[in-house]
Structure 1
Amino acid sequence: MPTPSRPGTPALLRVLNDRTALGLLLEHGPMTRNELARLSGLSKPTAAEMIRRLEEAELIAVSGESSSGRGPAALQYAVLTDRAIGVAIDVQPAGISATVVDATGRPDHVVFEATDDAPDGTDAHADLARAIESACLAAGRDPESVTVVCVGIQGSVEPRTDDLVFTDELPGWPRHQVTETLSKALGAHVIIENDANLVAIAERREGSGQEATTFALLWMGNGLGLALDFGGSVHRGAAGGAGEIGYLGAPVDASEFDSDARLVDDLVTSRTIELLAGRHGIEGESLGDLLEAIDQDPARLAILDELAPRVGLVVMPALAVVDPELVILHGPIGTAFGVDLASRVEAWLHEHSRWSTPVVGPSISQTPVLHGARHVLIDAVRQALVEAVAHLPDAPGADPPVVPA
């Protein structure tokens, strides 16, 4: 059995240099040898050696030429992204959507959507495999290159036991050792994350949460979910159940709006929208149909006036426990009513509570779960490429590597 490289040995320094080069190419895009040497702080011969090793390993390739107008053009090198890719998948009761993610982090707007036959409720492996294959086909990528999959669900995974928890949906999914089972079946590392948490990640990276120290994101749709972000880190809880406020008993004050509400989940979900819309003679076969019909109806603002106190009561526990800097209303309901609902909830909280927390609508309204999963996958796919560097063979007679001071 080979002895692990000790700190400071040429083999270890060579790996560190190669990882530095790969990281710079991922971060900055195509570069010449001289540009790589300048950004890494390494000598030009060392940069040339790194490029040679990464190119022979098929991790990078020539992508073009760069000319300053004086002298011969210099070759530019870029990371080959087909070696390891990820697939982001959003599993909702209405269907599955998925998109391919590569190490560059460039948004891939080619999204596969299946709303008629998925999930079929009998085989999680079949549902996810179909989504992976279809997303790769839509993006022109090889499914065999998929090394990691991030799946957003209405539920959570208990990190200590790998059990599926806090969900009454997902028939046909394994309840125990869920990520291990699906990873083996799909032949790729599977990451399962609560959908509200993924949306919070998206809002932190590219939306309303970018400037907030802490924020709470309320997901409102067929069910309720609350994501809590502390300085860029989503709080999941010891059992993965942080933010599952829908299971709480409805507060006493809720009887003023809905005497039948028994759980917080009863206050702001598809049932609520159906109830409020019905009072104004608005009908629809699904939550999406109802939201669209309300948006076009003269009673829209009146319905939002009725909805805002309910949302305020749902948000109150998060304000009392966490006191976040910002509240983001999201999900199908938050997206449909946007700033009009957010401003009413903020005003209600200011009048009926001790908090005057700003409340905003979504910044990312299209495929927000996939956006969050994409950010998770960028890090995972890049890590897979970086780990491949450790297995690169040494060149015979190669000079000892040098690290910058």
Structure 2
Amino acid sequence: MPTPPTGTSVVRAINARAALRLLLDRGPLSRPEIAALLAVSKPTASHLLTQLRESGLVKSDGNRDGAVGRAAELFSANETAAYAAAMDVTPERTEAVVIDFAGSVIGAFSLDTQDGVEVDPAAQVQRALTGACADAGIAATAVRRVVIGIQGAIDPTSDRLRFAAHLPGWQRPGLTVALQDSVGAPVDIENDVNLVAIAERAHGVATRDDSFVELWVSDGIGMGLMFGGRVHRGLTGGAGEIAELPVPGAPVPQETNEFGASGMQALAGAPALGRVLAEHGFSADTAVQAMTEAVAAGGDGAASALDEIASRLALGLSAVVAIVDPDLIVLAGDIALAGGERLRSLVQHHLHATVVARPPVLLSSLDGNPVLDGALRLVLERVQDEVLDTVSGGQSKPAGDD
């Protein structure tokens, strides 16, 4: 059966969306530049810009100076067309950031919480969002979507947060629905290390790798899996939960030790690594501080401690490499970064001595809060895609309309 011809309205919609995407990705452009980049005529480019301006998605951005003849009028995406928010939820605090349609941060807020005390997640998220929006000078109702990074994984089949016993109150059923009802916008709950992997892929050491593993070594140990440039979450959202991986010498979940940990968490979480460091003469208030002291020190004690820690990390990674065969392994988290190059090289050495495949092991290059970084990138991508989907072949619906 022959394929029916593409209608004019469909072509116009495709071109209008492409024009808006150009303005989002490349900044202010003139009509001739848009026409050339889209391979359309200048009158067609003018029509597209008129349509997008009438919909409130594009605005005039002045004229380009320094050109011969009449200065070209510039156009840019209207940053007020939509707003989005990202959050990083930990036992100690909730950090919230609001961005505009162009991706610029316009407001931020940090809400301290008491570790171990049960909370109402909907109230907590609403307070953090309201604070960030107040800082941005917009109403909380103006936010189109929220992405929440959290130390756990939401099971889409039950809408319940798993692997998050350290966050009392967040395990209730219907969590996403409750949060959406509270903020009045779609809410996506994403594993924190998955978000770190998204940020690493965007501007970290994995920009050239479509498939890699991000190992997070901190208070808890976690993993993000990136396959073909996309995060792999698994059927119940728990892909990459390496903390539960059974390993020799560690209890299984049914036999948790006195620290309440099992598997890789019992072997390589912060409490376990802190004990290893203390046994070799490096005691401190935190495992990060002890690791920093060990890396700075010379002698057999430091070398033995780092080697033991590296072998533990390599043990868990060996199972992952044997099954996944990634292009790259990235070490992230405050303990891994405190270990620096000394720890990285030892992990790679032990791993390559264990498995047939030998992916390189690199240290993360992300600065600041990588969880919030990834959440911002994910929510911006989704909101921009949603707005682009509102563009039709004739009149565009205003970005805020459903």
TM-score bracket relative to the smaller structure: 0.7 to 0.9
The one-letter code of the counterpart of 2:23 is L
Partner deviation per Cα, 1:61-105 (whole Å, 9 max, x = no partner): 111211453222222111111221221211122322232333334
1:368 corresponds to 2:370: yes
In the alignment, the residues of structure 1 paired with residue 23 and residue 212 of structure 2 have an alpha-carbon distance, to the nearest angstrom, of 33
Letter in 1 for 2:391: V
Structure 2 residues not aligned, in runs of 5+ = 252-256, 397-402
Partner Cα distance (1:263, 1:253) in 2? 5
Name the SS of the counterpart of 1:209 in structure 2: coil
Deviates more, 1:130-139 or 1:50-59: 130-139
Which deviates more, 291-300 or 195-204? 291-300
Look up the match of 1:127.
Answer: 124
- What is the count of residue pairs matched by the alignment? 383
1:303 aligns with 305
Give the root-mean-square deviation of aligned CA atoms.
3.0
TM-score, length basis structure 1: 0.84
One of 334, 338, 341 as aligned partner of 2:336: 334
Relative to structure 1, the CA distance from residue 13 to residue 249 in structure 2 (aligned partners, 3 Å threshold; closer, same or farther) is: closer
Q: Which residue of 2 aligns with 1:239?
A: 236
- Pairwise mapping of residues 3-42 of structure 1 onto structure 2 (< 5 A)? 8-42=6-40
Distance in 1 (alpha carbons) for counterparts of 2:56 and 2:62? 16
- Range that drifts further, 303-312 or 383-392: 383-392
Query: Are the equivalent residues in 2 in contact too, given 1:96–1:119 (CA < 8 A)?
Result: no
- SS in structure 1 of the partner of residue 222 of structure 2: strand
Aligned-partner SS, 1:23? helix
* Cα distance, 1:163 vs structure 2: 2.5
Task: Give the counterpart of 1:49 among 44, 47, 50.
Answer: 47
Q: Residue 267 of structure 1: SS of its match in structure 2?
A: helix
Segment drifting more, 183-192 vs 209-218: 209-218
Aligned AA for 1:122?
V
Deviations 1:165-198 (CA, angstroms, capped at 9, x unpaired) = 2322322225323222211221111111111111
How far apart in 2 are the matches of 1:110 and 1:147? Answer: 15
Q: Is the 8 A contact 1:63 1:77 kept in 2?
A: yes
| 1:319 to 1:114, Cα distance in 2 relative to 1, 3 A | same
**Residue type of the alignment partner of 2:166:** E
Q: Is the 8 A contact 1:88 1:370 kept in 2?
A: yes
Amino acid at match of 1:351: A
Name the TM-score, length of structure 2 as normaliser: 0.85
For each residue in 1:3-48, what CA deviation from the matched residue of structure 2 results, as whole angstroms up to 9, or x when unmatched?
Answer: xxx9744444443332222122112211122222222222222222
1:229-273 Cα distance to aligned partner (Å, 9 max, x none)? 22212221111111122223331499xxxx988522101112113
Which one-letter code corresponds to 1:327 in the other structure? I
Q: In structure 1, what is the equivalent of residue 160 of structure 2?
A: 163
Give the counterpart of 2:181 among 172, 184, 188. 184
How far off is 1:139 after superposition?
A: 4.7
SS at match of 2:29: coil
Q: Secondary structure at the match of 1:318?
A: helix
SS at match of 1:86: strand
Q: What code does the residue aligned with 1:135 have? A: A
Secondary structure of 1:82's aligned partner: helix
CA distance in 2, matches of 1:8, 1:330: 48
1:276 CA displacement: 2.5
Q: Is the 8 A contact 2:94 2:113 kept in 1?
A: no
- Tell me the equivalent position of 1:272: 272
**Map of 2:315 onto structure 1:** 313
Which residue of structure 1 lines up, in the alignment, with residue 59 of structure 2? Answer: 61
Amino acid at match of 1:315: L
- Partner residue, 2:197: 200
User: Is the alpha carbon distance of 1:184 and 1:118 closer, same or farther for their aligned partners in structure 2, counting shifts above 3 Å?
Assistant: farther
Seen in structure 2, the aligned counterparts of structure 1 residues 234 and 29 have a Cα distance that, compared at 3 Å, is same
Q: C-alpha deviations, 1:319-365, integer Å up to 9, x for none?
A: 12112222111122222222221111111223344453321111114
Query: Secondary structure of the residue that 2:326 maps to in structure 1?
Result: coil
Instruction: Report deviation, 1:213.
Output: 4.3
Q: Report if the CA contact (8 A) 2:93-2:112 is conserved.
A: yes
State the AA in 2 paired with 1:20: A
Query: Tell me, what secondary structure is at the counterpart of 2:314?
Result: helix
The CA deviation at 1:382 is 0.7
Q: Aligned AA for 1:126?
A: A
| Structure 1 pair 133–295 and aligned structure 2 pair: CA distance change class (3 A) | farther
Asked if the contact 1:57–1:392 (Cα under 8 Å) also holds between the matched residues in 2, the reply is: no
Distance 1:341 1:238, change over 3 A: same
Alignment deviations for residues 254-306 of structure 1 (CA, whole Å, 9 cap, x no partner): 9xxxx98852210111211331343325231x555555666666665553223
Counterpart in 1 of 2:399? none
Match of 1:389 in 2: 391
1:376 and 1:328 map into 2 onto residues whose CA distance is 20
